[in-house]
Chains A and B, each alone.
Chain A
């Protein structure tokens, strides 16, 4: 990688010839279709990035060109035509939003209503333009962001968009970005490096317990931009942070492909909790449309006795390909993975985790709950390994699948590899079906079928829900109910 630090030129100063062919497009806030060096230059220019970042992106792009799409996951989809994708589109401003709440897709509003989101926030989320309420709400949320940033700054915590961090904190970004997920780790991570447009940057200084849970909720407008998000969280020695990712309402996106990269780094005695609720558009019941969610999330427990906990509730996306992992490098480090993956309709999920035990006395815990309904396919794929020098590594894995109906599938693919004989790895797996007896019992008490299923499913996933931060837990339960609507009958 060529990191030219001295070059801090703004794109306006750059060789205009190079960009001239995109001149009109720059004005139009949208890069042309497909991926090329020029498109990458365009994105980098849009983000006012320093030269080193552009070089870094171009380097990733060239590596990506030499790589092949992975084919090992249990998902099938037509080959992605990368020439047909817009890799950069500016966020929809208020000018482009619907005029009043009446112009908003009623399906979207119905979902908001079910989630119990107040009208005021519904307008905000849907980006209604001519609403006094919405405008107020926007100002509200801006002020929320400001006060909350001040409080974080007092604690020395940095929490900002990654594009801002590249400009304001280049030394941290250069030191840590790609140190957990290398550029050419996989096809999609390389692609992400070349074209990422947004994401979060979090830095928790030594000994600081982050005074609040960090949530992308506050950055919801900024979030709309990114189909290729890049997030980097660094927890210095003895620090702690809880980070919530996701949306309280469906994020609608015309783009098909999402390829995010998330890197977490914990130093000695530090802890990161990373919670996700993902409900991207899953496509219709025939499998038309929907998001391809190809995500690389990895944590490096670099310091001794450090800890990372991944919690995820995945209900959306047409295809999910996601394995939040932990490299347990520090002695005594711990990794935990709690997952709920719900699939309905024609959704395909191939998700799980990797726990790579490198240090001594490292431990990991995996609780995965997969729920398949409709004609969906839901695969848990997980790897647990102990390096030969990793003495006394321990893992407990519990993998439960619940089937609703007769046309769906649940699959469990564990890879367990212990190169040190002192490792203790346990794996438990169950597959069950919502029994007609259970369902009839609930109905007989007057609980309608869909609510009965949601009740039984929420019972099934309780162990994971308990691990979610309070406000997420309530939303996650509602979301699971909504996702399974129409799964029987």
Chain B
């Protein structure tokens, strides 16, 4: 298993509210797993916990990534180990050109892995190629990261970073939110182009719509901090048609 989550319990540090209550989930290399669930079920919390956000505290359970316990690792160490989170709300970094940010991220990861830093011509070549595939203009790359970007531009910039950093596990947190259908298609194409037998995806979404374009291997329903039902892409269609109510009712 690439990612193995066992009996995970998580609370918010500040007010001790328990959000994840005994979650089990396994994802294989090459798999695209979708997590669906109503608002407040703990979907975004799960993505933050996997990425190492210190606002949350794991009180019980384990998370291993490629056999390694990641819970003691800092967020940047997790990133270096190959975990990437495409944010629902990507942060703005004023004054830092997107291009410079990309270079800092790529070279930090290379350095941490003991690889030589990229030289500028090679870096530019890689960025141009990926940006071209995703329809991201060079003009955007010169602007400060996410500052004044439209919703679609922000999400595309996230996928661009994902393509350049070549992670093993890609977590997409509500990547479809705020996207019109054309932007959604471009983002989905970008993701599909990265599908690979050595790479897994955890696609967190509220709606089935995204899964029409990024077709998952497995679908899991998250409710009240637990996976209450798992299935294949048919489950997503069922949820789309009937809502969460009957799945929740049958789990209770």
Q: A residues within 8 Å of B by Cβ?
A: 435-438, 440-449, 451, 455-456, 458-463
Contact = CB atoms under 8 A, between A and B. Distances in A.
A397 B9 CA distance: 51
B96 A455 contact: yes
A438 B108 contact: no
Interface in B95-120: 95-96, 100-101, 104-105, 108-109, 112
B79 interface: yes
A435 B91 CA distance: 10
Given A443-B75, A447-B105, A455-B96, A437 B165 contact: no
Top 7 A-B pairs, shortest CB-CB distance? A459-B95, A446-B79, A459-B96, A445-B105, A462-B95, A443-B75, A446-B109
Contact of A449 (B76, B93, B95): B76
Contacts of A463: 95
Of A437, A445, A461, the most chain B CB neighbours within 10 A belong to A445
A256 B80 CA distance: 45
A188 to B, nearest CB: 35
Nearest to B55: A436
Interface in B129-162: 144, 161
Contact of B144 (A438, A443, A445, A459): A459
A451 B91 contact: no
Nearest to A437: B91
Contacts of A447: 76, 104-105, 108
Contact of B79 (A435, A437, A445, A458): A445
B95 A461 contact: yes
Interface of B: 51-53, 55, 74-76, 78-80, 84-85, 87, 90-96, 100-101, 104-105, 108-109, 112, 144, 161, 165
A446 B93 contact: no
Contacts of A440: 51, 53, 75
25 contacts: A435-B91, A438-B93, A440-B53, A441-B87, A441-B90, A442-B105, A443-B75, A444-B76, A444-B85, A444-B87, A445-B79, A445-B104, A446-B76, A446-B108, A446-B112, A446-B165, A447-B104, A447-B108, A448-B112, A451-B104, A456-B93, A459-B93, A459-B96, A462-B95, A463-B95
Contacts of A445: 79, 101, 104-105, 108-109, 161, 165
Contacts of B78: 444
B34 to A, nearest CB: 21
A81 to B, nearest CB: 44
Given A447-B104, A447-B105, 4 more contacts: A447-B76, A447-B108, A449-B76, A460-B95
Contacts of B76: 443-444, 446-449
A400 to B, nearest CB: 10
A366 B87 CA distance: 37
Contacts of B84: 444
B93 A444 contact: no
A269 B205 CA distance: 64
A19 B26 CA distance: 88
Nearest to A443: B75
A458 B95 CA distance: 7
B79 A456 contact: no
Contacts of A448: 76, 108, 112
A463 B96 CA distance: 11
A458 B87 CA distance: 23
Nearest to A438: B91
B93 to A, nearest CB: 6
A368 to B, nearest CB: 15
A463 B95 CA distance: 8
A461 B95 CA distance: 8
Contacts of A449: 74, 76
Contacts of A461: 95
Contacts of B75: 440, 443-444
Given A451-B104, A451-B108, A459-B144, A444 B94 contact: no
